[in-house]
């Protein structure tokens, strides 16, 4: 998707069931409250159609898929080289952990 000519990622609740909606709204709340240079920023939010509304969030686009896949690829066979190169990217995760927010990649 594009927003103002820039590529963005759109994350939509899987369905309109309470658990799915609550999960996405919790993520939205965290993203709105947290700003860090190395964290993905939320650009917008809303709901899908009025018939069966599902919340969605619009995020900065991160090329290469989801974070779990990206980190898995980077770690494969390059553990010694990985950590020094990725220090800046991981500081965002450390920042969130210090705020008491848990990030689970599994």
pLDDT tens per residue, the chain (106 residues)? 888 898 998 999 999 899 999 999 998 888 888 877 767 788 999 999 888 889 999 988 877 676 667 667 766 665 555 444 455 555 666 555 666 555 444 3
Tell the residue number behind the tokens 């820039």, with chain if given: 6
* 89 Cβ contact partners less than 8 Å away, ≥ 6 residues apart: 38
d(CA 15, CA 21): 7
Q: What is the pLDDT of residue 104?
A: 47
Does residue 60 contact residue 43 with C-beta atoms inside 8 Å? yes
Q: What is the DSSP letter of 47?
A: E
Q: Indicate the CATH number for domain 2-98.
A: 3.30.200
Q: What is the pLDDT of residue 30?
A: 86
Domain residue spans of the chain: 2-98
């Amino acid at each position: 998707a594009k927003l103002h000519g820039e590529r963005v990622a759109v994350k939509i609740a899987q369905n309109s069931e309470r658990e799915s909606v609550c999960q996405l709204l919790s993520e939205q709340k965290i993203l709105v409250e947290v700003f860090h240079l190395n964290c993905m920023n939320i650009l917008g939010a809303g709901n899908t159609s009025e018939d069966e509304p599902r919340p969605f969030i619009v995020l900065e686009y991160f090329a290469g898929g989801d974070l779990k896949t990206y980190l898995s690829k980077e770690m494969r066979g390059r553990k010694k080289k990985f950590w020094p190169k990725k220090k800046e990217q991981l500081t965002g995760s450390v920042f969130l952990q210090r705020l008491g927010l848990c990030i689970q990649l599994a």
